[in-house]
Structure 1
Amino acid sequence: MPILSAVTISLVEEARGGPFVFWEDVEASCRVASELGFDAVELFAPEPGFVPVKTLKEVLSRYNLKLAAVGTGAGWLRKQLSLTSPNAEIRQAAKKFITSMIEYGGQLGAPAIIGSMQGKAASSASVAECRMLLGEALAELCHHSHSRFGLPLIYEPLNRYETNLCNTQADGAHLLQTYGAPDCKLLADLFHMNIEEISIPQGLLEGGSWIGHIHYVDSNRSAAGMGHIDFAQVMETLKQINYEGYLSAEARSLPDARTAAQSTIDSIRQHLGK
């Protein structure tokens, strides 16, 4: 698949103010995304089926859009579920929630993303144990996604202020290799990478063929072109690693949603040469 564009829609009230371009109204958001020329949307929903599959399929078809991915972060925001909780019942509930999101997105050909639901270690002494719990859970969940739908599971390393488990693309690749998660892909979020990587191009090279999804966002969590990331260099590196997948705008809707979306699609077109 070639490099395609996507833009985020959040329906999670608890995430209000977070890095999502469109909010609340799926129909209106898809209409604007289509008008601006995006290929797809990425959906962050409170729970599976919040927008029924049939309804979402009809809306996407109406505006000639694909579903790039579904987020699982509501499991953490709304229920405090994580794959590395010290409580085994919470870990099991987290896997159950993610599995239900895999089932939801899978019906529309969209993989699930695990970001905040990876959790964090309570102390430096428990980091190794939590990484083991995370690696084992990712292997189990990605096997389910691949066997059921032929889709990868997408795992997102986060910056140090959000987790102490995996912060770089190299960390993420090592985790997936160690725990045998070949059907799992990494999400390279340029905002997190701007904080954690020696350089974004180096991080992308270290993630290499493991990278399956990009959050295309600027250094300040605003839309591409509103910060200081060198997107020409990013795109050149993506070509070097033969990246095929989505460039998805997970960015703050500043100064407003349409402007943020427009800035993103303009940047993608400029640097893809379209």
Structure 2
Amino acid sequence: MIRSAVTIALVPQIKSGPWIFWEDLEKGMEKAAALEFDGVELFTPSSDALEPDRLRRLLEKHQLQLAAVGTGAGKVLHGMTLTDPDPEIRKKAISFISDMISFGAQFGAPAIIGSMQGNVLASGNREETLDCLAQGLEMLGKKAESEGVFLIYEPLNRYETNLLNTLESGSAFLEKNRLGNVKLLADLFHMNIEEDNLAQSIREFGTYIGHVHFADSNRKPMGFGHTDMAPIAKALKEIDYSGYVSAEAFPFPNPDAAAEQTIKAFQRFFRH
């Protein structure tokens, strides 16, 4: 069964980003539970920013699952990416993500690699940069496998990365480099920019999809833009997707209203 999730960000430096709830973990989880979300997706400054026992108690209290953990703070706070020309920085990026994998795995949740993938720099070599990405994902995929979870790689739109922008290019990269424990994140906002037909891409590359980010064409909650969600939902059902559809969207017009709009849209497309 496809499950719902809502994002909670605990990193003040990214407060302008596409996350529904902010700063107050317990309050965010309380609101998510009241709206009957199945899980929460967390963005934390580091793997040790939250005491695991506290998080476990809150998840149990509110009957929520941990859907996934983001790693973007590694770039936002520390400037680390898997494709940095400096091998020492790449090593630190792998260590940061590895720790996040271990943190999430305690709750059966995968880690997401989005902005920490980096870019091909103007002075860089594309093939060498992609090799660095492949090496990083291989190491981290094996780390995730040893922890009993998979790893999520997110193709971003062209304005955020010049590496891999579509499900097609992402899946080809996973195949070429035999990254069997790495799955793709189908972010509907990014896909609206890069994909010719979102539903068709999901059907064609559905076996690689491990997570879905639920946001409209303008990155507001689903229903506030022009995304045609019905065929996308149908495609996800046709590929027997059973992961999370998680609201990584701007808290428009405010966090509470954004969460309510999201769960209404989720119920409309995935429960009725």
TM over 0.5: yes
Amino acid at match of 1:214: V
Name the structure 2 match of 1:165.
Answer: 163
Separation in 2 of the partners of 1:124 and 1:152? 33
Secondary structure at the aligned position of 1:69 is classed as strand
State the 1:125 CA deviation: 5.8
Q: Establish whether residue 42 from structure 1 lines up as the match of residue 41 from structure 2.
A: yes
Aligned residue number for residue 269 of structure 1: 267
> Residue in 2 aligned with 1:54?
53
Q: Are the equivalent residues in 2 in contact too, given 1:193–1:203 (CA < 8 A)? A: no
| Other-structure match for 1:215 | 213
Q: Does 1:64 align with 2:63?
A: yes
* Count of aligned pairs: 272
**2:234 is the counterpart of 1:236:** yes
1:18-37 map, 5 Å: 18-37=17-36
Give the aligned residue type for 1:79.
H
Q: Supply the distance in 1 between the matched residues of 2:200 and 2:29 (Cα, whole angstroms).
A: 34
The separation in 2 between residues aligned to 1:192 and 1:165, in whole angstroms, is 13
What is the root-mean-square deviation in Å for CA atoms of aligned residues? 1.0
Give structure 1 regions of 4+ aligned residues with deviation exceeding 2 angstroms: none
- The corresponding residue for 1:108 is 107
Please list, as runs of the form range in 1=range in 2, the aligned pairs for 1:1-274 lying within 5 A after superposition: 2-123=1-122, 126-148=125-147, 150-274=148-272
> Aligned AA for 1:74?
A
Q: d(CA) in 2 for partners of 1:105 and 1:67? A: 8
Q: CA deviation at 1:203?
A: 2.1
Change (3 A) 1:93 1:184: same
Please give the per-residue CA displacement for 1:205-260, whole angstroms capped at 9, x wherever unaligned: 23220001000110001001111111111101112222110000000001011111
Q: Is the 8 A contact 1:167 1:196 kept in 2?
A: yes
Q: Unpaired segments of 5 or more residues in structure 2? A: none
SS of aligned partner of 1:174: helix
The Cα of 1:202 is off from its aligned counterpart by 2.3
Distance 1:80 1:159 in 2: 20
Report the Cα offset of residue 124 of structure 1.
8.1
Instruction: Name the amino acid aligned to 1:83.
Output: L
Deviation at 1:23, TM superposition (A): 0.2
Normalising by structure 2, report the TM-score.
Answer: 0.98
